[in-house]
Structures are given as structure tokens and as C-alpha cells.
Amino acid sequence: MIPSNSPSSETRHDTINPQLIGFILYCTRQKSEWPDLYDEMCRVAGQGLYQGLHHKDLRNLGFSLSLNHIENAIQTIEVVTNSRIGRKALS
């Protein structure tokens, strides 16, 4: 589970690919609450609705929507949006 304090030093805003930041912000315009946000991200990536980015492209940018990597995805989303969705998403 993601700690309740600030995200780890591994994920900092300045280390996230700008295209990935754009993808996250694009998705959060439509949905901002978990699990709706997760569903929206999967839909957008599945159809390549943001700059043609699909799941494979997101993985190449270091972002996976796989449930095996969901904690990392949540941490990245939190860094980009400055919101805390981890506690709700993982409960």
C-alpha cells in the first residue's frame, strides 16, 4: 500500500515523461475519482484517444495500467495531479 505521506523520491514530477503527464491530465478531465479514473485511463489507452497512445506506448513511457503495477501507477497519478487517490483505490 502507498504510504500516507508524500510520494517516494523515485517518482518526482520532473522525472515523468511530459507525454505521460499529458495523458494523465487528459484522463483526469473526465474522471477524478477512483475507480472511474482507472476505467477512463484504460478506455483512453485502449482506443488511443490521447495522441495515439495505447497501453504498449504507456508501458514504454514507464507507466502500466496492469493490476500488478497499480501502486506505481497510482503514485505517478498522485505526483502529476497532487491528489491522494491511493488510500481509496487500494482499499
Residues 46-79: tens digit of each pLDDT: 999 999 999 999 999 999 999 999 999 999 999 9
Please name which of 68, 39, 45 lies closest in space to residue 58, comparing C-alpha atoms: 45
Task: Decide: pTM greater than 0.85.
Answer: no
What percent of the chain has a predicted confidence (pLDDT) above 70?
A: 80
Burial class (CB in 10 A: 0-12, 13-18, 19+), 46: exposed
Q: Which residue has the cell 497499480?
A: 70
Query: Rounded to an integer, what distance in angstroms lies between the CA atom of residue 24 and that of residue 41?
Result: 8
Please name which of 22, 41, 26 lies closest in space to residue 89, comparing C-alpha atoms: 41
Rg from Cα positions in the chain: 12
- Say which amino acid occupies 57: D
